[in-house]
Structure 1
Amino acid sequence: MAAVLEVEVGGPVERDVEEVDLSHLSPEERWRVEHARMHAKHRGHEAMHAEMVLILIATLVVAQLLLVQWKQRHPRSYNMVTLFQMWVVPLYFTIKLYWWRFLVIWVLFSAVTAFVTFRATRKPLVQTTPRLVYKWFLLIYKISYATGIVGYMAVMFTLFGLNLLFRIKPEDAMDFGISLLFYGLYYGVLERDFAEMCADYMASTIGFYSASGMPTKHLSDSVCAVCGQQIFVDVNEEGIIENTYRLSCNHVFHEFCIRGWCIVGKKQTCPYCKEKVDLKRMFSNPYPFFLWDPVSCEGEQWVERMRGSGLCPGAAGYLFGLAWRPRKVAASPQQWQRPPHKIRP
């Protein structure tokens, strides 16, 4: 049975805590001893800790204002820098803390995404590249959203105590749910940023789209502006593989291309004339890979809120901060480990 230790500075209890052999204790008892040691070490530093908290709050407020201004004035550099930091920073903690599962998934995702990004930035662009890019990012999009939803449901079931029906410990169920939620948000945001970057490169290379000016090519009625390929199915015909869609601006596109452009590439305008696109009006179900459309729409807005979080710019700010920020603040791993379970991505 774990005991609650009260440490008196300079007293015999403090010396006993320092001399405790941790090798024969359970994980919870070991954590309690480490926690008692930490309190004994920092006792009497309340004024210094208060100053540190005030400095931290002031820094966060100033950083938030600076990040908002940066994003408004230079959105392209903001997206590139925050994407890079969100992609690379976790690698340091993963190697440092031996989180091999996260490292394996990160390496696989990075390898395939790097290959797809390389293909998308080549000139001239191979005809099959646009569909390859959208297929890959659409796959990650589906997996990340499904993972996030399962993680969210696991957390809610744990809060309502439904895990007890399956004889699962609350800490294990909560760790499972938070881990899945983190994976879903982290890779979901990464793929959205990479997809947006690849979509801009490919559309600019094809020539029917320009982010800052007029297109360099004239769009024919039988050519898709996203992939540059011929359209063989009429708008009013039922396609065998995919249909053809006409936007409100009368430009036509392959169904898969315009879905990838609008949903995966985060573009809400026509690839050629930049007219606003209403997904709900254009598609009967703009998210056909989800059974419940409102779930996907709400998740879309959730990810965008995470993407714009100033506390951790780049993506998934809140959950990323929950998973990583305690490791930055603490002086040693023993100060942030929680008894008796630890979330290990």
Structure 2
Amino acid sequence: MEQQEHSLLDMQTNQLLIQALRNRRPNDMVKLQHLELERIENLHMGHESMHAEMILIIIVTIGVAQVLLVAWKTMHPKSYQLVTLAGMWLIPLGMSLRNQWWSFIFLWLLFSCTSAFVVCKALENPIDGSTPRLVYKWFYFIYKSSYYSGIISYSMFMMTMVGANQIIDVRDETMMDTSILFLFYGLYYGVLGQDLAEISSEQMASHIGYYSKDGIPTRQLNNNVCAVCGNGIHVSADGGTSRENTYTLVCDHVFHEFCIRGWCIVGKKQICPYCKEKVDFKKIFYNPWEKPHVLYGSLLDWLRVLVAWFPIILGFIQLINFSLGLE
């Protein structure tokens, strides 16, 4: 009986929709809106308990998932990092292939091929003297691109809010869509770049020998040698004289400016590469305009869980609802 009423309402709605589109009379459009509201109310009538169950399932599932993810990250950080990275890399690609988002697929292939080449160079043993500089330049470029994409996204959003887009004759929907697109690309490739840079930085430093994650470094650090790249402080990777600025940490170890920036910002390390002394960011980032880069790195850490695991959690919730017959 209830299904017959729903079918009758659907037929009336469809007939009135055809009539309204043909005649374009305001009265028909008002009737159509009333019928649509009535259809939705009848469809959800008596479903209050079902909706409460669905909300409870969502809350419990998200809570349990957070606890499990935190426990996994605490006990097995390496496997957690690799699985999260794989999810970040493959899930958006699968969604793009399904929906034929060719622009994302092109950028994904470009980023993946270049990053794969850079990571392979970082995993070589023995490592070439120019590799650390190459790795940090690439991932620092990705990091800065991500950062400025976020700024562009925010600027376009604010322009839309104040109506500045009307000056250049751009629709609000176009500005907002472009803003969201810049934000997504910035956050997505920023997170991927940070994870790959962290893996690469550890491997490079351990191969050079001045850094060991768990034990004592295999090489003694001489004076005027950068422990990140293994080159002399005043010598470039190709053997020429380097004019790059240097940074001295509180432990008195000296590093190339670009190397220690890559180690701390891109590689997410907050310790000296040689003695594991805590890094004082106030001395490294003395310019206040550089500090937002560190805060942005923390934002990417928080968003990693949201982007990588939310689709999986959402799919699990839908599976539970389907198995219980909830709509």
For the aligned pair, the TM-score class normalised by the smaller chain equals 0.7 to 0.9
Assess, with a 3 A threshold, how the Cα gap between structure 1 residues 230 and 293 changes in structure 2: closer, same or farther: closer
Residue 111 of structure 1 corresponds to 113
The amino acid of 1:148's aligned partner reads G
Aligned counterpart, 1:70:
72
Q: Which residue of structure 1 aligns with residue 280 of structure 2?
A: 278
SS at match of 1:78: helix
Aligned 8 A contact 2:265 2:294 in 1: no
Distance in 1, matches of 2:206 and 2:94, equals 34
Q: Which runs of structure 2 are paired with 1:193-272 in the superposition (5 Å)? A: 193-232=195-234, 241-272=243-274
CA spacing shift, 1:84–1:53, aligned 2, 3 Å: same
Q: Write the deviation string for residues 286-333 of structure 1: whole angstroms up to 9, x where unpaired.
A: 8xxxxx4454344233223323x4x4457xx7xx89xx969x969xxx
Q: Which residue of 2 aligns with 1:299?
A: 296
- SS of the residue corresponding to residue 7 of structure 2 reads coil
CA shift in 2, pair 1:86/1:39, >3 Å: farther
The amino acid of 1:144's aligned partner reads: S
Question: Could you tell me the percent identity over the aligned residues?
Answer: 47
Residues in 1 aligned to 2:103 and 2:266: alpha-carbon distance in whole angstroms:
26
Contact 1:223–1:253 (Cα < 8 Å) also in 2 = yes
Match runs of 1:136-155 below 5 Å: 136-155=138-157
Tell me if structure 1 keeps the 8 A contact 2:228–2:255: yes
- Offset of 1:12 from its aligned partner? 5.1
- For residues 63 and 312 of structure 1, the distance between their equivalents in structure 2, rounded to whole angstroms, comes to 14
1:125 is aligned to: 127
Q: Could you tell me how far apart the structure 2 residues matched to 1:146 and 1:325 are?
A: 30
- For the 8 Å contact 2:210–2:227, the answer to whether it is kept is yes
Contact persistence 2:265–2:293 (CA under 8 A): no
Q: Is it true that 1:10 corresponds to 2:2 in the alignment?
A: no
Counterpart-to-counterpart distance in 1, 2:42 and 2:116: 46
Give the match for residue 162 of structure 2: 160
DSSP-derived class of the 2:182 partner: helix
The C-alpha deviation readout for 1:84-109, integer Å capped at 9, x for no partner, is 11111111100000000111000100
User: Does structure 2 conserve the Cα–Cα contact (< 8 Å) formed by 1:143 and 1:184?
Assistant: yes
Flag structure 2 segments of 5+ consecutive residues without an equivalent.
23-28, 236-240, 320-327
2:42 and 2:191 map into 1 onto residues whose CA distance is 40
Higher helix share goes to which structure?
2
Larger radius of gyration: 2
In the alignment, which residue of structure 2 is the partner of 1:90?
92
CA distance in 1, matches of 2:139, 2:291: 21
Q: Distance in 2 between matches of 1:279 and 1:192?
A: 18
1:237-263 superposed Cα distances (whole Å, 9 cap, x missing partner)? xx8630222221111212221111111
What is the alpha-carbon distance in structure 2 between the residues aligned to residue 188 and residue 221 of structure 1? 35
Query: CA offset at residue 63 of structure 1?
Result: 0.4
Equivalent residues of 1:152, 1:178 under 8 A apart: no
CA distance in 2, matches of 1:166, 1:281: 44
Aligned partners of 2:265 and 2:297 also within 8 Å = no
1:230 is displaced (CA, Å) by: 2.0
Distance 1:94 1:58 in 2: 30
With the length of structure 2 as denominator, give the TM-score of the two structures.
Answer: 0.79
Q: Tell me how far apart the structure 1 counterparts of residues 274 and 16 of structure 2 sit (CA, whole Å).
A: 72
CA distance in 2, matches of 1:252, 1:146: 30
Structure 1 residue identity aligned to 2:112: S
What secondary structure, in the 3-state scheme, does the structure 2 residue paired with 1:245 have? strand
TM-score (norm 1): 0.75
Structure 1 gaps of 5+ residues are 1-7, 234-238, 287-291, 331-345
3-state SS of 1:163 partner: helix
Q: Which residue identity is paired with 1:257?
A: C
| Distance change >3 Å, CA 177–CA 312, structure 1 → 2 | closer
